[in-house]
Amino acid sequence: MIKELIISFDYHSGKTVKKLRKLELEKKTTTDKEITNRLKEEIEILQQDYEAKLKPVALEIAFNINSQMKNMSDDEIFEKYEVRDVTSSMIGDCVYKICQKLERQPSHKIILEMMPEIFKPN
């Protein structure tokens, strides 16, 4: 299910990602400060939109992982995820690693800001 969420998000955010790439390339090649400032603003708005759309997906992944782990023994968790002594506070890091498979990878900080306290590392 998690893989499908990532694929679906990538598909639906494709136009935004392409637009961001185009604007970032344009920003790198321009020397006009006014144009650079306008491009920075556009990039910031699009990036915020992208992150806003990612948040429900990231939360769904986090709650899905948490739900799966509640039904697994420590040995099953180790076998599947190769992690011992799992706590719900590790889930934010797991979501970050999963989101690194996206076409436009969010930063660790961005992902952790999306997570409820229970899923954030201590």
Q: What are the sequence ranges of the domains in the chain?
A: 2-119
pTM for the full predicted model: 0.84
**Which whole number is the average pLDDT over 14-38?**
95
More confident residue, 108 or 80: 108
Cα separation values, 116 from 3, 18, 40, 56, 121, Å: 22, 30, 29, 12, 11
* pLDDT, averaged across the chain: 92
**Coarse DSSP helix, strand, coil percentages of the chain, rounded to the nearest 5 percent:** 80, 0, 20
Distance CA 55, CA 114 (A): 6
More confident residue, 94 or 81: 94
Distance CA 118, CA 95 (A): 13
Distance CA 44, CA 32 (A): 18
